[in-house]
Amino acid sequence: MSAWLDMALNGAPINDSLVSQRQQSLALLRAARWPNRKVEAWKYTPVRALEQIDYSAANQSTAARGVDAVEGLSAIELVLINGVPQAIAGELPAGLQVRALSEGEAIAGELFGSVKPSRHIFGLVNDVLAADGWVIDVAPGVQIETPLRIVYRTTEAAQAHGRVLVRLGDKSRLTVIEQAEGTEPSMSTYFSEFSVGVGAHLEHYRFALQTGAAMSVGGCHVLLAERSELHSTLVGFGSDLSRLDVDVIHGGEFASAKVNAIYLLDGRELFDLHSTIEHACANGTTEENVRGIAGGQSKAVFNGRIHIHRHAQKTLAELNNRNLLLTSGAEINTKPELEIYADDVRCAHGATVAETDKGALYYLQSRGISRSQAQIMLNFGFINELVDAMPNAALAQWLRPQLRARFAQMGDA
Amino acid sequence: MLSIKNLHARVEDKTILKGLNLDVKPGEVHAIMGPNGAGKSTLGYVLSGRDGYEVEQGSAELDGHSLFDMETEERARAGLFLAFQYPVEIPGVSNMEFLKASVDAVREARGDSALSSAEFLKLARVVCKQVNLPVEFLKRGVNEGFSGGEKKRNEIMQMILLAPRLCILDETDSGLDIDALKVVADGVNSQRSSDRGFVVVTHYQRLLDYIKPDFVHVLSDGKIVKSGGPELAKELEAQGYSWLADHPDEVPAE
């Protein structure tokens, strides 16, 4: 299969309260086909780079540098360094419980693997290897105003696995920001599962901003109960291997999901976003907008599946994917998939790949704006709508200069 | 200030300009009229450096600097302004951001200090009012969903904000009703000054009732074939352009 996997599984599974679930996943993993070009979900995304890092050089010190604050954002900081939870500063608001996964709370056993589908092979790896992480529980009816910011930090040459399990009680409200960055050689799997109760509201962000040799395969998996709401924003940069699997399951009627995703790639980077929306119940709505820009010799992969089950009548689902190719060397593989088994639904999907509008570039230049700045403005223009749609203004403010810096680096060559 | 000598230029394989000469001095307004396909729009694109428009021979200088040695943005910073016949829509880039970036770039090139956001907003509001565009248009995407008239007024707004040395107006009157035409002409007239030149490219004489030219030139088949005062525009209005084809011998040789 994979020398990396054999090495990673050496000594597994972890003997804790989740051991039976871990063993099950290990059995599935052993039986599964390791990703290669012939495995549809991994057709465009080679994982060879995993084998090339010398993980023995890992500095297991957890005394890595602190976490940069987001200006204007007062958040509860939940930090995982190489998958190990760090102490939480300050008091938690009433109705919010946050524990380390290793504390063995009963709720962890209930949530672990309850939302994340077992088809994600690195999700199985995470099931087996994620010794720790965060378990978050919001009591019914409680509105948590302060966002939770979960920072995934992976040190050089480390392999890190972390798991986040979140339960939103009925009619509760929570904002969760998942943030990963880094450029140094490493491999991480960070998977989060959210069980959103009846009438509850989850505002969610996942910033997969690893670049360079920082490899990551992760996922966010959301189960929506009746009349619950999800507003999710996903932002990805590419690296030697960067993959995100997102699942949204409408498990109750009248649930609503809004998913906005942006990916921006440069150099020889790879970013792969696979999203699956399961409309298992009637009267649900999904609106998914995905925009990507690929420069250099990068490769972007987007697979957006919407699956409307037989009883999911009156579903409204829209999936739109637009891409901008900055160079002839860049590559975009996009595949929207609509699978509809109910007859009274409204669904639409579309995917486009375009080049920079030369006329717009000339127009901006004719007003004295340099070509490189004009290109940055046009790139920004392409994704601005989704940045503006982020419900948290401080986060949007924090993100913009990072996007600008990325665009400046991408250039137009 | 603008001196074009024996300009030959082509688009793809087709030579469009075939030996064009034009001199514009500060304070002058020159109208260039001519039938469709004469090369009127090509002139503006060649001077501003649009991709795909290639100079075969000849020269064009603005204040003694060769335009063809500069990038498009450098020409703009040197004081060349082209008001587009078809301004480009750029969704996602706000008009405000666009105008600020543009003014910043031109001011920086001139050695003027950058305007703060507040100073710029104040200025932009004044100019919005001058060209009769609602202030809300500053927040909208560049030309996004603007009517034809709104786009042209946005062009004039840019011209006023950038305070160029030489303005080329490419069929700025096309698609305008008479009220919009007056607004556009008022905007242009407000910018006429002794140190600024204008080249007004138009198919119809109508615009010249509002922007009074000092000189009128007839462009045909890539060359200026006749030049005169404002009265020439009236003649063209009466006679049309068919005489160009019917009596090529009457055309004075270059």
What DSSP assignment string belongs to A331-359? Answer: EEEEEEEEEE--SS-EEEEEEEEEE--HH
**Mean pLDDT, all residues of chain A:** 94
Q: What is the pLDDT of residues A154-196, one digit of tens each?
A: 999 999 999 999 999 999 999 999 999 899 999 999 999 999 9
pLDDT category of residue A45 using cuts at 50, 70 and 90: very high
> Which of A127, A93, A122, A97 has the alpha carbon at shortest distance from A112?
A127
In this structure, the number of other CB atoms found within 10 A of the CB of residue B135 comes to 12
CB under 8 Å to B59, separation ≥6 — which residues? Answer: B3, B4, B5, B6, B7, B66, B68
pLDDT category of residue A65 using cuts at 50, 70 and 90: low
Give the tokens for residue A282: 């009637």
Q: Which residues of B48-86 are buried (b: 16+ CB within 10 A; e: fewer)?
A: bbbeebebeebebebeeeebeebebbbbbbbbbbbbbbe
Q: Which run of H or of E encompasses B9?
A: strand B2-11
Domain tally, chain A: 1
Spatial contact of A132 and A102, defined as CB atoms under 8 Å apart: yes
CA distance B219 to B20: 9
CA distance A101 to A105: 7
**ipTM for the predicted complex:** 0.94
pLDDT category of residue A413 using cuts at 50, 70 and 90: very low
CA distance B44 to B85: 10
Nearest to A369 among B73, B75, B91 (CB): B73
Is residue A64's pLDDT more than 60? no
φ, ψ dihedrals at A136, nearest 5°: -120, 130
Spatial contact of B44 and B168, defined as CB atoms under 8 Å apart: yes
Q: Given the structure tokens 């904000």, which residue do they identify?
A: B161
Q: Which domain holds residue B192?
A: 2-250
The answer to whether the Cβ–Cβ distance between B82 and A384 falls below 8 Å is no
> Would you state the pLDDT for residue A61?
56
Spatial contact of B210 and B15, defined as CB atoms under 8 Å apart: no
Is residue B166's pLDDT more than 60? yes
Is residue A201's pLDDT more than 80? yes
Q: Is the dihedral of CA B110, B115, B117, B119 positive or negative?
A: negative
Is residue B252's pLDDT more than 60? no
Give the tokens for residue A220: 């966010």
Q: Does A369 touch chain B (CB under 8 A)?
A: yes
Q: Which domain holds residue A79?
A: 3-410
For position B112, which CATH number holds? Answer: 3.40.50.300
Q: What is the pLDDT of residues B58-67, one digit of tens each?
A: 999 999 999 9
The answer to whether the Cβ–Cβ distance between B73 and A385 falls below 8 Å is no
Domain tally, chain B: 1
CB under 8 Å to A186, separation ≥6 — which residues? Answer: A53, A154, A155, A156, A157, A158, A159, A160, A213, A214, A215
Beta strands in A251-385 (DSSP E): 256-265, 270-279, 285-294, 299-308, 316-325, 331-340, 346-355
> Which of B25, B20, B24 has the alpha carbon at shortest distance from B9?
B20
Q: Does A383 touch chain B (CB under 8 A)?
A: yes
Q: Which residues of A301-320 are buried (b: 16+ CB within 10 A; e: fewer)?
A: bbbbbbbbbeebbebebebb
For the residues A267-296, what does the mean pLDDT come to?
A: 97
The answer to whether the Cβ–Cβ distance between A371 and B71 falls below 8 Å is yes
> Would you state the pLDDT for residue B253?
40
Q: What is the pLDDT of residues A212-269, one digit of tens each?
A: 999 999 999 999 999 999 999 999 999 999 999 999 999 999 999 999 999 999 999 9
**Percent with pLDDT over 70 in chain A:** 97
> Would you state the pLDDT for residue A409?
87
Q: Does A363 touch chain B (CB under 8 A)?
A: yes
**Strand A229-237 to strand A84-85: parallel, antiparallel, or no bridges (unpaired)?**
unpaired
The answer to whether the Cβ–Cβ distance between A359 and B71 falls below 8 Å is no
> Would you state the pLDDT for residue B254?
37
Contacting A with CB below 8 Å, chain B residues are 48-51, 71-73, 75-77, 82, 84, 87-88, 90-93, 97-98, 101-102, 105-106, 109, 141, 158, 162
In this structure, the number of other CB atoms found within 10 A of the CB of residue A139 comes to 15
- The alpha-carbon gap from A407 to the nearest alpha carbon of chain B, in Å, equals 15
Q: Does A388 touch chain B (CB under 8 A)?
A: no
Cα nearest neighbour of B47 on chain A: A366
φ, ψ dihedrals at A345, nearest 5°: -135, 160
In this structure, the number of other CB atoms found within 10 A of the CB of residue B248 comes to 11
- The alpha-carbon gap from A236 to the nearest alpha carbon of chain B, in Å, equals 20
Nearest to A366 among B72, B97, B101 (CB): B72
The answer to whether the Cβ–Cβ distance between A381 and B72 falls below 8 Å is no
Q: A356-370, A372-386, B228-242: lowest mean pLDDT where? A: B228-242
> Number of A:B CB contacts under 8 A?
81
CA distance A311 to A294: 39
Residues of B within 8 A of A381 (CB-CB) are 90-93, 141
Residues of A within 8 A of B76 (CB-CB) are 365-368
Q: Which of B93, B107, B168 to mutate to test the interface with A (most CBs of A within 10 A)?
A: B93
Cα nearest neighbour of A376 on chain B: B93
The answer to whether the Cβ–Cβ distance between A365 and B101 falls below 8 Å is no
